[in-house]
Amino acid sequence: MKRKISSCAFVFALIVGLSWITPSAFSEKKHMDHGSMDHGSMDHGTMDHSSPPAASGDEYRVKEPAEMDHGSMDHGHMDHGKSDGSIFRTLGAHEDMGMSKPENLDSKALLARGRNIFMHMCVFCHGEDGNGGGKATEYLYPWPRDFRKGIFKFRTTPTGTLPRDEDLYRTIVEGVPGTSMPAWKDALTPEDTWALINHIKNFSPRFKKEKQGEKIVPKTHPDSSPERVARGKTVYEELKCNRCHGDSLKGDGELSESLMDAWKHAVFVHDITNPQALKGGHKPDDIFRTISAGLDGTPMRSYIDVPEEDRWALVHFIRSNFVKEFKKAEFETDIYSFPVGFELTTDPFSPVWNGVKSTNLVLRPLSARRDAVEIVNVTSVNNGEQLAIRIKWDDPTHDAFSELHSDIFRDGVAVQFALGAVTLHTHGHNEPFFGMGNRNKPVNIWHWKAGLEEALEAEDDLEYAGGGVDMDALIYGGIMSNPVSKLNATGENPVEELNAEGFGTITPQPPENQNVDGAGEWKDGTWTVVFLRDMPKTGKWDVDFAKRIDPALTAFAVWDGVKEDRNGRKVISVWQRFNILKPK
């Protein structure tokens, strides 16, 4: 199917003039800042078939000073890929959280280690000086924590007091559900975590002047019962919890849209009927801790003044309103592309996928929302010549092209790969930032958008000549009214291949280098999308599957049209290790 050329020269000229407003896969900026990307070094027109892959990603390195060049940072002493056999230096060994604290937290080696980890993993959100104003902040809601005031939400200590070290440890390794704060438990050793805690505490003078608060320890742990749940409902009403959380507990109370925190930022009241969305944790002890300690810096006060029996009753009332089971998934793990002896297609329901092991991954929203897409299921196969990735996620609404609606937001999904011979948490953290990469550490992105085929069919019937042009609809509208939103370097392919090396640097590959095919189908409340590409790379800015020995690094993003997702408004995963098992 070929696109028709518009008969309105004015509209064509306007589209060309606005063509830089290409929707980005991993960026939210309306005006893309190409100034921070050196397009002289990112030459999509140069095809590189002969040279072997670089050992350390040097082929992507820009020989110029950068404002924050993490590629040049000396992390040589931090090799997280190796362990001396001790639990203290083993990734993910956090079972005895808080029990392995180093005796000398002020050692120079630990201070240097903590700063290096912070500058690699935390600086993009929390900022170099811990003020919560990193480069990612404008894409996030709620904003990252400003450490300088020493105010922390997630504590086991009385309101107004400093958190205990174990509280900071728990937040780092478990993350904060419902926000963009990942769980870093698989990325850090206990030694790394304590080093990071030590660095974070240096941002606020409170830790040098004040003692940590005394731990709130419950005297009892009563089980749930109908009587206790009924008492909890009464307590919920007496404490007027519904003014913020609503009668439904879904965060729709009369005050929910007007709340502010200590930093004068708007507060988002989460749906506490969803166990995945409770920021302090969904287990009984977690909820009791939140009720007892409060969330300092927010309108959620401490209820330590309420009798302990009533606090437990409130815990069980809240849990009795959970509308679903907590679904466990991986934050950072190994996923595999399994060898098959069949020809591969983009058919989402091809028999080739039957029986192939898949992996559930946790997604985090960059902007807080209710009913977020929380889990994505990933499967991959290859036949030695081509590689396919299938992604599935639950979505009760099908948001694609519709003849009945001219302005819509589409569902979509993207796969992101780190370029170069980078590995995860080894050789001094040499992987790019999982949010669109960073300077000298580019990424390759495959972005699928729902409804392109239907949109192209509708475009055949569109006429822009005569009757004038609706400028508001042209610039701000949806698929039918906005030709700019249909500019897609892949033509009739619903997958667009892009590159980036940081926020605001998203760049589509030229048409001749668009080599990723894809197709998706929504059925019974679930999207199933397949990406397909030849294993050898065709250009410098493609991920290479054919010659790869070490795992590739990959991350995922999902857009939900009903949430008005577009560009940087989405849910995302952190990096995963993508292991390619080739046919023998």
Give me the pLDDT at residue 458, please.
56
Tokens of 384: 């030695």
Tokens of 553: 């690094």
* Pair type for strands 412-418 and 552-559: antiparallel
Cβ count within 10 A of residue 7: 11
- Cα angle: 130, vertex 136, 137; to 5 degrees: 65
Q: What is the Cα–Cα distance from 431 to 412, expressed in whole angstroms?
A: 25
- Region class of 403: left (phi > 0), else alpha (psi between -120 and 50), else beta: alpha
Single out the residue of 552, 539, 540 nearest to residue 418, CA to CA: 552
Phi/psi of residue 572, nearest 5 degrees: -140, 165
Considering all CA atoms of the chain, what is the largest pairwise distance in Å, rounded to the nearest integer?
A: 78
Contacts of residue 176, defined as CB under 8 A and 6 or more positions apart, other chains included, come to 154, 279
> How far is Cα of residue 255 from the mean position of the Cα atoms in its chain?
29
As a whole number of Å, the CA-based R_g of the chain is 25
Instruction: Extract the runs of DSSP E, i.e. beta strands, from 402-494.
Output: 412-418, 443-449
Q: What is the pLDDT along the chain (584 residues), one digit of tens a residue?
A: 333 333 344 333 333 333 333 334 433 333 333 333 333 334 444 333 333 333 333 433 333 333 333 333 333 333 444 445 555 667 777 876 655 677 777 788 888 999 999 998 999 999 999 999 999 999 999 999 999 999 999 999 999 999 999 999 999 999 999 899 999 998 898 989 999 999 999 999 999 999 999 999 999 999 999 999 999 999 999 999 999 999 999 999 999 999 999 999 999 999 999 999 999 999 999 999 999 999 999 999 999 999 999 999 999 999 999 999 998 889 999 999 999 999 999 999 999 999 999 999 999 999 999 999 999 999 999 999 999 999 999 999 999 866 555 567 899 999 999 998 888 876 455 789 999 998 889 999 999 999 875 665 555 444 343 344 433 333 333 333 333 344 454 556 789 999 999 988 999 999 999 999 999 999 999 999 999 999 999 999 999 999 888 899 999 999 999 999 988 899 999 999 999 999 98
Residue with tokens 């591969």: 344
Give me the pLDDT at residue 474, please.
36
Give me the pLDDT at residue 421, please.
80
Q: What is the Cα–Cα distance from 21 to 40, expressed in whole angstroms?
A: 21
Query: pTM to 2 decimals?
Result: 0.79
Question: Do the two domains 70-209 and 226-320 of this chain adopt the same fold?
Answer: yes
Identify whether 142 is preceded by a cis peptide bond (ω within 30 of 0). yes
Single out the residue of 244, 105, 246, 91 nearest to residue 173, CA to CA: 91
Residue with tokens 């925190």: 261
Per CATH, the number for 70-209 is 1.10.760.10
The CATH class that applies to domain 226-320 reads mainly alpha
Q: What is the Cα–Cα distance from 167 to 582, expressed in whole angstroms?
A: 44
Cβ count within 10 A of residue 361: 23
Domain range list for the chain: 70-209, 226-320, 334-451+493-580
Residue with tokens 């046919």: 583
Give me the pLDDT at residue 76, please.
33
Give me the pLDDT at residue 426, please.
62
580 forms beta bridges with 337
The CATH architecture one would assign to domain 334-451+493-580 is: Sandwich (2.60)
Single out the residue of 548, 550, 552 nearest to residue 384, CA to CA: 548
Contacts of residue 242, defined as CB under 8 A and 6 or more positions apart, other chains included, come to 236, 253
Helical residues (DSSP H) of 154-261, grouped into ranges: 165-174, 190-201, 206-209, 226-238, 242-245
Contact between 113 and 192 (Cβ < 8 Å):
yes
Residue 218: C-alpha distances to residues 157, 241, 280, 285 (Å): 12, 22, 17, 9
Tokens of 339: 């060898």
Cβ count within 10 A of residue 85: 7
**DSSP summary character for residue 538:** S
